[in-house]
Amino acid sequence: MIRKLSYSLSLFLAVCLLSGPSRASDSDYQQAMKALGSNDFANALHYLESAVTDDPDNLRYASEYRQAAIKSKEFDRALSFFEKLSAAKPQSANLHLNFGFAYVDKIPVAGSITQVILANKALNEFTRAVELQPNWINLYTRGMSYLFWPKIFNRAPMGVADLEKAMKVQSPGPKKNYYVKTYLALGDGYWKTDQLEKARAVWQEGLKQFPDNQQLKTRLERQGDDLQKAIEANFDPNKRVDTDLRDLWTSSQN
């Protein structure tokens, strides 16, 4: 039953992602892409805000909007936009997800304490998204978000729990290239919770599924301090996390 439900959620997500632009938002999105092509960020942001407002569940529009905001360093504008829209459309899980990512996008340019505040706010939005739709992207995202917190906060076990659920969601459906992220993250979560054997098992399983993945190979090749360095390099709050969601609609099946 759970597997069936999970598969249904994945299917729902895929439909959301691949349903493509329709309505007035389509025209705004196309205008925004044109503006982006000529580095006209002011117009790009304007048209993308229109597109997202018109179709708040569209992950592509919102993701493109955030990427444009990153390039133009309009972090606060994006946060303000998502805050207002998510208040108006509180049931849109994808909107909450992107709102959370907008906080994450600002973290590398923030001071160390503001980073914590932003991360905490992002987590709140990711939780809202999970509550509304416990699908792969929401579970994976919140799970990863937990893993970024310093050990003292003991949030890694919650990250592991989310990532284990994400793994269950992805297992029965058609394999997507981005599913490799779950193997990496869940293994990292096990490592962060001192379950090295389980971490290696997940990375091994991931490598079976994705034999060319260099990050999995690196983790399996390294031990001790070297492994720690390889993992911690992925959780440096001063480095920008790639929050571009385009993999979701460009990724091919294996």
- Answer for the pair 52, 58: CB distance below 8 angstroms, yes or no: yes
Q: Is residue 236 close enough to count as binding another protein by CB under 8 A?
A: yes
Say which residues have a Cβ less than 8 Å from residue 10's Cβ, sequence separation at least 6.
135, 136, 169, 170, 173
For the CB of residue 212, give the shortest distance to another protein in the complex, in Å: 31
Using the contact rule CB under 8 A, the part of the chain among 31-39, 49-57, 65-73, 147-155 near another protein is: 147-155
Piece of 42-50, 64-72, 104-112, 160-168 that binds another protein (CB under 8 A): 104-112
Position among 90, 150, 157, 172 found at the interface with another protein (CB under 8 A): 150
Residue 116 or 241 having the CB closest to another protein:
116
Amino acid 43 reads: N
| Nearest Cα to Cα of residue 208 among 180, 232, 188 | 180
- How far apart CA 217 and CA 214 sit, in angstroms, is 5
Q: Cα separations (Å) of 183 from 39, 138, 146, 198?
A: 36, 16, 16, 11
Distance CA 86, CA 93 (A): 9
CA pair distance 185, 101, nearest whole angstrom: 17
Q: Is 237 near another protein (CB under 8 A)?
A: yes
Q: Which C-beta is closer to another protein: that of 117 or that of 196?
A: 117
Residues in 153-172 at the binding interface with another protein, rule: CB under 8 A = 153
We find the least distance from the C-beta atom of residue 150 to another protein, in angstroms, to be 4
Q: Is 151 in the site for another protein (CB under 8 A)?
A: yes
Select 38 or 112, whichever has its Cβ closest to another protein.
112
Residue 27 and residue 55 in contact, taking contact as beta carbons nearer than 8 Å: no
Q: How far is the CB of 5 from another protein (least distance, A)?
A: 34
- The one among 1, 15, 87, 152 contacting another protein by CB under 8 A: 152
Which helix or strand (DSSP H or E) is residue 242 part of? none
Contact with another protein (CB under 8 A) among 1, 15, 87, 113:
113
| Residue from 238, 244, 246, 250 binding another protein (CB under 8 A) | 238
Query: Closest Cα to residue 41, out of 58, 66, 60, 63?
Result: 66
Does 233 bind another protein (CB under 8 A)? Our answer is: no
Q: Which of 119, 123, 153, 112 is nearest to 238 (CA)?
A: 112
Asked whether position 134 contacts another protein by CB under 8 A, the answer is no
If one asks whether residue 110 binds another protein (CB under 8 A), the answer comes out as yes
Selection from 31, 90, 2, 97 nearest residue 58 by Cα: 97
Residue from the set 15, 38, 39, 112 that interacts with another protein by CB under 8 A: 112
Interface stretch with another protein, choices 78-86, 112-120, 125-133, 184-192 (CB under 8 A): 112-120
Give the binding site for another protein (CB under 8 A): 110-114, 116-117, 120, 150-153, 236-238
